[in-house]
Structure 1
């Protein structure tokens, strides 16, 4: 009798488990980077809380094959991107939001990022999202006469170049200088020793063995305000 009751109990438990079993949807990763002139925070689809800050980035999980709609927070009429691009389960994608006025020029791309590096190095690529800029060169502060990236035009995403990032860091080797083609210094980005609240995923320790973007933003010639010419960092290793 006890054996019979045990069998019945196990059968009920198995039936209950089957009833509550849920099937998870496939997911892909989407990194949204915002640099629209005159823009602001950006919303994805109907997300209630998650938004991307201006001149920043955020990573979202998305369902492959579904529409991606990115619009200005609080004003869905200002639509930066509304398409259904080819996406797949487990894929990693980026959308760079650029443009100004009513002309928006998003860049959608599937990422094919190198694996984590074994040596003490980090990877960098440059993304030029300054709509009125001439092509820019990039040097290290430690070797200002040598271009590490050359003639990066508006909406261009360079390949990844690796740089040493050992425990002892020689002066100027993690400071990237944005220059015009005449060599005039326009902006500098230095990898910080510790992360800050605006870019919490970026520091020397956090970027070792990984990759990052340095995004050129704003209007060339503008020196004040939110659309001043400058740079900001974006994580590209997840």
Structure 2
């Protein structure tokens, strides 16, 4: 008999498949990988053919995320961009591999993969094997922070109006915090988080999060410290 986690992962896969209007496979013996694409100057990445239980639309746009069900028989995860043939007005563009690493996928697998880096030719990654709760009691949600911003600068996170570092004192490049629980009630429909240089206290950017009732989200700081930055909201469910 499947464990509760296995059942919930299957439901996530089913929900994804149901929402996809294109042709899909009927193989539901799968885990999931939640991929976030924060590569500077990058483009939409695609899962290599035949790895996913979904036959099409296995793509992740720049500065976005996608939850991809993966067959439990897979032992390698590969994402990248396809080659583009030359035309009369433009040269050929070669394929680029963003990620190609071994991975263990079972029907209970739940991974998060964060892709970052200064360019498509220098992609770096963070792979997390998730163990977070899939649901919370009434009036609770949880938020995690990850630093994907170029510059090798530790950042702090605070709620607007509170002391610097109130939510995270120092998050190094490619490091991430645990999920922290927050009240999710009508009186707090949103939270304003401020990302700062942990050493100087200088504000990098802020993000207004609509309270994610009953589930988990990750706020991923992207871009380059001292240049253009932003935050990607990743739903973890």
Q: What TM-score, normalized to structure 2? A: 0.76
Residues 94-173 of structure 1 aligned to structure 2 (within 5 Å): 94-101=112-119, 102-145=121-164, 147-169=166-188
Q: 1:85 to 1:230 in 2, by over 3 A?
A: same
Tell me, yes or no, if structure 1 residue 81 matches structure 2 residue 99: yes
In the alignment, the residues of structure 2 paired with residue 210 and residue 168 of structure 1 have an alpha-carbon distance, to the nearest angstrom, of: 18
Unaligned stretches of 5+ in structure 2? 1-25, 50-54, 85-93
Aligned position for 2:79? 70
Deviation, 1:94, is 1.2
Q: CA RMSD in A?
A: 2.0
Unaligned stretches of 5+ in structure 1? 1-22, 193-203, 223-227
Deviation, 1:133, is 3.9
Contact 1:31 1:58 in 2 (8 A): yes
Aligned position for 2:202? 184
Contact 1:215 1:232 in 2 (8 A): yes
Contact 1:133 1:219 in 2 (8 A): no
Aligned position for 1:55? 63
Aligned position for 1:231? 231
Select the residue among 39, 42, 45 that pairs with 2:45: 42
In the alignment, the residues of structure 2 paired with residue 51 and residue 144 of structure 1 have an alpha-carbon distance, to the nearest angstrom, of: 39
Contact 2:70 2:105 in 1 (8 A): no
Aligned position for 2:222? 217
Provide the secondary structure at the position in 2 that maps to 1:154.
coil
Per-residue CA deviation, residues 171-222 of structure 1 (Å, 9 max, x unaligned), is xx60100011221111011013xxxxxxxxxxx3xx1111100000001111
Aligned position for 1:196? none
Contact 2:156 2:195 in 1 (8 A): yes
The structure that has the greater radius of gyration is 1
- The count of residues paired between Structure 1 and Structure 2 equals 195
Per-residue CA deviation, residues 53-92 of structure 1 (Å, 9 max, x unaligned), is 1111001110124232110255672101112312222211
Deviation, 1:163, is 1.2
Q: What TM-score, normalized to structure 1? A: 0.75
Contact 2:30 2:107 in 1 (8 A): yes
